[in-house]
């Protein structure tokens, strides 16, 4: 490119196509190229009737090193396509072959009738290669550095999705292995994992696990529940008792939350004090909200 168009490209390539060719050609081509590690810009170039082809391609080329144009019957039937593409091809010749044509369901005679200059440009044809094979050929042209890093068989694995499936399987395996270090209710990470005695004589030991959410388990049994556990105790599982502290000059009242259920006992009881009975009870609600992480409790 020249003049104001000599900008540092943001993308390796863009894909210009008729909207009718998105599903069978443009999308699989873009997805495969991205799997190879290329930066691809293509969604903004789905052309509809009335779109300005030259403006779309000019905008794409200004941000990309190469432009892939999918030539098809739907493409050449777009309004103004022939007139605007003629100017584009002329500029492409001047700038050194930045346009990479892909023919789809179209003959050389049709392309020749549409644009004689474009018909003389070496193109990839979907009747001879599927989108994955075309992506490999484009990779070799656009990013030879990446192409040389991989054997052709490896590129075929990536293009077919086999490599991506292998990666997903490995991620699933690692997630399975790491699941024991995550809270089973909210996926919070484990913060403490130690051996601890299970009896006063310390004859039997087991593992105590503490998670960042507050969930604690000992020997696989819940010691303190996770706030995301559906069985996490509700405030009505506590009996609230208030009492006056005559010897206290300021915090004259206390409110105790006494567990009524097994899960509430595992969370623990708690006591708060205040200058008035209402303040002490309000602090109990605030304490529960902090423990349950439900500030609207």
Q: Is the pLDDT of residue 271 over 90?
A: yes
Alpha-carbon 91 to chain mean position: 38
Who wins on pLDDT, 84 or 193?
Answer: 193
> Tens digit of pLDDT for each residue in 208-250?
999 988 899 998 899 999 999 999 999 999 999 999 988 888 8
Residue 266 reports pLDDT greater than 60: yes
Give the domain ranges of the chain: 3-149, 182-224, 235-292
The reported pLDDT for the residue numbered 8 is 61
Contacts within 8 Å (CB) and 24+ apart, 231-234: 231/263, 232/263, 232/267, 232/292, 233/259, 233/261, 233/263, 233/264, 233/266, 233/267
pLDDT for the residue 80: 60
Predicted confidence at residue 269, as pLDDT, reads: 84
Which segments of 143-245 does DSSP mark as H helices, in order? 144-149, 152-160, 162-178
Sign for the CA dihedral angle at 210, 214, 220, 221 comes to: positive
How far apart CA 90 and CA 100 sit, in angstroms, is 14
Residue 180 known to be catalytic = no
Query: What is the spatial distance between Cα 177 and Cα 172, in angstroms, rounded to a whole number?
Result: 9
Q: Quick one: pLDDT at residue 68?
A: 87
CA angle 23–29–35, rounded 5-degree value: 125
Token pair 């179209």: residue: 106
Pairwise pLDDT comparison (70 vs 59), residue with the higher score: 70
Is the model's pLDDT at 294 over the cut of 70?
Answer: no
* Cα distance between residue 3 and residue 195, in whole Å: 71
Residue 117 pLDDT > 90: no
Q: What is the pLDDT of residue 234?
A: 93
Burial class (CB in 10 A: 0-12, 13-18, 19+), 66: buried
Q: What is the DSSP string of 1-69?
A: --GGG-PPPSEEEEEEEEGGGIIIIIHHHHHHHHHTT--EE-GGGEE-TT--HHHHHHHHHHHEEEEEE
**Number of Cβ within a 10 Å radius of residue 92:** 22
Kindly report the CATH class assigned to 3-149: alpha beta
For 51, phi and psi rounded to 5 degrees?
-70, 150
pTM (2 d.p.):
0.51
User: Could you tell me if 208 and 218 are in contact, meaning their C-beta atoms sit under 8 angstroms apart?
Assistant: yes
Whether the predicted pLDDT of 120 surpasses 70 = yes
Which of these ranges, 26-30, 89-93, 134-138, has the smallest mean pLDDT? Answer: 89-93
Which carries the bigger pLDDT value, residue 201 or residue 169? 201
* CA pair distance 82, 85, nearest whole angstrom: 5
Give the per-residue pLDDT at 64: 82
C-alpha distances in Å from residue 74, one per residue of 55, 71, 104, 280, 288: 18, 8, 10, 75, 64
User: Do 223 and 244 contact (CB within 8 A), yes or no?
Assistant: no
Computed over every residue of the chain, the mean pLDDT equals: 82
Residue 292 has pLDDT above 70, yes or no: yes
For 202, other C-beta atoms within 10 Å of its C-beta total 9
Q: How far is the C-alpha of 137 from the C-alpha of 125, rounded, in Å?
A: 11
What pLDDT shows up at residue 3?
A: 42
Catalytic residue among 20, 35, 55, 84: 84
The yes-or-no verdict on residue 278 having pLDDT over 60 is: yes
């Amino acid at each position: 490119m020249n003049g104001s168009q000599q900008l540092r490209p943001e993308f390796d390539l863009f894909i210009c196509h008729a909207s009718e060719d998105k599903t069978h050609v443009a999308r699989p081509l873009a997805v495969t190229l991205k799997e190879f590690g290329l930066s691809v810009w293509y969604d903004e170039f789905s052309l509809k009737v009335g779109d300005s082809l030259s403006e779309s391609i000019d905008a794409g080329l200004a941000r990309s090193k190469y432009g892939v144009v999918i030539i098809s019957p739907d493409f050449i039937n777009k309004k103004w396509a022939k007139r605007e593409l003629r100017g584009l091809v002329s500029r492409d010749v001047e700038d050194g072959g930045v346009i990479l044509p892909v023919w789809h369901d179209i003959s050389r005679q049709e392309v020749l009738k549409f644009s004689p200059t474009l018909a003389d440009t070496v193109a990839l044809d979907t009747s001879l290669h599927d989108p994955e094979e075309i992506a490999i050929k484009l990779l070799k042209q656009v990013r030879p550095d990446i192409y040389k890093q991989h054997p052709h068989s490896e590129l075929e694995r990536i293009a077919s999705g086999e490599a991506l499936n292998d990666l997903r399987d490995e991620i699933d395996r690692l997630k399975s292995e790491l699941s024991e270090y995550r809270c089973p209710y909210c996926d919070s990470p484990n913060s403490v994992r130690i051996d601890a005695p299970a009896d006063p004589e310390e004859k039997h030991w087991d593992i105590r696990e503490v998670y960042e959410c507050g969930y604690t388990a000992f020997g696989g049994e819940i010691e303190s529940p996770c706030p995301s556990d559906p069985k996490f105790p509700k405030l009505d599982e506590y009996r609230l008792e208030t009492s006056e502290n005559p010897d206290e000059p300021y915090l004259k009242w206390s409110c105790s939350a006494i567990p009524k259920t097994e899960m509430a006992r595992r969370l623990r009881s708690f006591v708060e004090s205040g200058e008035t009975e209402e303040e002490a009870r309000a602090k109990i609600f605030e304490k529960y909200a902090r423990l349950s992480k439900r500030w609207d409790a």
